[in-house]
Amino acid sequence: MKTSVFSTLAGHAKRQAGRLWALGLAVGLAASMAGSGPADAHGEKSQAAFLRMRTLNWYDVKWSKTSLNVNEEMEITGKLHIMDAWPVAVAKPEVAFLNVGMPGPVLVREGSFLGGKFVPRSTSLELGKTYEFRVLLKARRQGRWHVHTQLSVQTGGPIIGPGQWVEIKGDMADFKNPVTLLNGEVIDLEQYKIGNIYFWHTVWFIAGVAWVFYWFRKRGFVGRYISVASGKGGELITPLERQIGAGALAATLLVVIISYALTASEFPRTIPLQAGNIRAIDALNIPESPIKVEYLRGTYKVPGRELVATYKITNTGKEPVRVGEFATATLRFLNPDVYTQKVDYPEYILAERGLSLSDNAPIAPGETKELTVKVQDARWDTERLADLAYDVDSSFAGLMFFFTPSGARYEVETGGPVIPEFLPI
């Protein structure tokens, strides 16, 4: 008799402990989420250095505005170079989607364009090609937001481009998003059928809470785990609970079928979600560069945050040229002897004095010169590109820009393996 009483008390204690543990977990999660602040960036620093350096190179990126009002439009324009050095570990951009990275729908994307074509869906891009892009946005929510370019690649994930702080003034309550339907009716997507959305969210939320509460009221998670672990899992669900489960399934299917029929009768003309792949996107017709660049060797000095690369450069053009910039993973390293004026670009990824040469004299027409290029700046660390020293193949890639006295600019993709140096020499 005493044993039976103690067993009952022990079982009750286990059930109570399980409920308290689950309640504590829920309270802890709620508290942690309530105490967390908004994210300022979009995780681009967490992406591997090789992924950011050897997949895409965004350049000539411009934000038409950095301060605007709710309902006001802005656009991001520039060029997107698909690297020939695309890593084998990442799927090629045969299915890619031009997008914008931002903390939620603070702006509405009204249109995306690649090669001058409207691309509301995925498209195919070729390695080694350069594409002009334009993204049209409309301000929706007031605040100060970090807005990035972004290319999402199937199985490769989103590859983040450069970001700029954009301030939106006004009140989101004034936002309008008019759209013309197939029947000519003009609706505001921001408010259209919003009552239905709230209603169905409430219905399914209540149904979900009731379902969880019904199964949680007996034994809790820990109690059920103990039953399963002790070989009594078959006794957890009673015949009555099976009937209730079958009834809940039938009720759910009935609600879905009836609501679908009512919606189909109210909106007989619809267009399915567009999931095709837009092909034949025109790449930029860039003339062949008269600059021939051969990568010879390179090192990355971890303590000095310094990439040192040696090239053999041949100028087959008619004008002398100078190395003015090296761009990789949204970062721009500039030669201050070439860029003598302030550059309009986000400062956190702009190293205005980050590039220097062993010989800063111009490369004359017909001349071949062995040149050591030093790319040094703390942004190697702050943007976590120094991790290339720990990659499997320790390779880098980027675009090198050459300039002529007449103002011509030539971009050449360059890169290769580097030897990391962890101690100063």
Asked if 310 and 359 count as a contact pair (C-beta separation under 8 A), the reply is: no
Q: Same structural domain for residues 138 and 218?
A: no
Residue 159 maps to a domain: yes
Q: Same structural domain for residues 178 and 48?
A: yes
pLDDT of 249 above 50 = yes
- Give the C-alpha separation, 269 to 246, whole Å: 35
Residue 13 maps to a domain: no
pLDDT of 424 above 70 = no
Domain residues for 225?
A: 194-266
Q: What is the DSSP letter of 88?
A: T
Q: Same structural domain for residues 50 and 151?
A: yes
Q: Same structural domain for residues 249 and 367?
A: no
What are the CA-CA distances from residue 362 to residues 291, 321, 338, 359 (Å)? Answer: 12, 5, 11, 8
Q: Same structural domain for residues 222 and 323?
A: no
pLDDT of residue 6: 41
Q: Same structural domain for residues 112 and 49?
A: yes
**Residue 347, helix vs strand vs coil:** helix
Q: Same structural domain for residues 300 and 344?
A: yes
Count of H-run helices and E-run strands, the chain = 6, 23
- Give the C-alpha separation, 11 to 9, whole Å: 5
Which of 131, 156, 182 terminates a domain? The answer is 182
pLDDT of residue 24: 52
Provide CB contacts within 8 A for 89, sequence distance 6+: none
Q: Which residue, chain included where needed, has tokens 């009204």?
A: 110
pLDDT of 131 above 70 = yes
pLDDT of residue 19: 53
DSSP 130-198: EEEEEEEEEE-S-EEEEEEEEEEETTTEEEEEEEEEEEEES-GGG---EEE-TTS-EEETTTTTHHHHH
Mean pLDDT across 32-40: 47
- Give the C-alpha separation, 336 to 351, whole Å: 10
Q: Same structural domain for residues 59 and 172?
A: yes
Q: What is the CATH number of the domain that holds 165?
A: 2.60.120.570
How many independent structural domains does the chain possess? 3
Q: If residue 17 lies in a helix (H) or strand (E), which one and from where to where?
A: helix 2-35
Residue 302 maps to a domain: yes
Q: Same structural domain for residues 239 and 354?
A: no
Q: Same structural domain for residues 173 and 82?
A: yes
Assigned token pair, 320: 């002398």
Q: What is the mean pLDDT of the chain?
A: 87
In sign, the C-alpha dihedral spanning 372, 376, 379, 385 is positive
Q: What's the order of all strands across the beta sheet hosting 419-421?
A: 355-357, 368-376, 306-315, 291-301, 419-421
Q: What pLDDT, in 10s, does the model give residues 312-328?
A: 999 999 999 999 999 99
Binning pLDDT at 50, 70 and 90, where does residue 33 land?
Answer: very low
Q: Same structural domain for residues 346 and 249?
A: no
Q: Same structural domain for residues 159 and 227?
A: no
Q: What is the CATH number of the domain that holds 236?
A: 1.10.287.710
3 state SS for 181-249 = CCCCCEEECCCCCHHHHHHHHHHHHHHHHHHHHHHHCCCHHHHHHHHHHCCCHHHCCCHHHHHHHHHHH
74-105 burial, b at 16+ Cβ within 10 Å, e below that, comes to bebbbbbbbbebbbeebebbebbbbbbbbeee
Residue 48 maps to a domain: yes
pLDDT of 230 above 50 = yes
**Is the pTM higher than 0.85?**
no
Residue 254 maps to a domain: yes
Q: What pLDDT, in 10s, does the model give residues 318-356?
A: 999 999 999 999 999 999 999 999 999 999 999 999 999
pLDDT of residue 36: 46
Which of 127, 151, 182 terminates a domain? The answer is 182
Asked if 139 and 113 count as a contact pair (C-beta separation under 8 A), the reply is: no
Mean pLDDT across 57-82: 96
Residue 148 maps to a domain: yes
pLDDT of residue 60: 96
Q: Which residue, chain included where needed, has tokens 């970062």?
A: 331
Residue 39 maps to a domain: no
pLDDT of 29 above 70 = no
Binning pLDDT at 50, 70 and 90, where does residue 9 land?
Answer: very low
Asked if 339 and 401 count as a contact pair (C-beta separation under 8 A), the reply is: no
pLDDT of residue 35: 46
Q: Which residue, chain included where needed, has tokens 């070989």?
A: 231
Residue 189 maps to a domain: no
Asked if 227 and 233 count as a contact pair (C-beta separation under 8 A), the reply is: yes
Which of 182, 212, 243 terminates a domain? The answer is 182
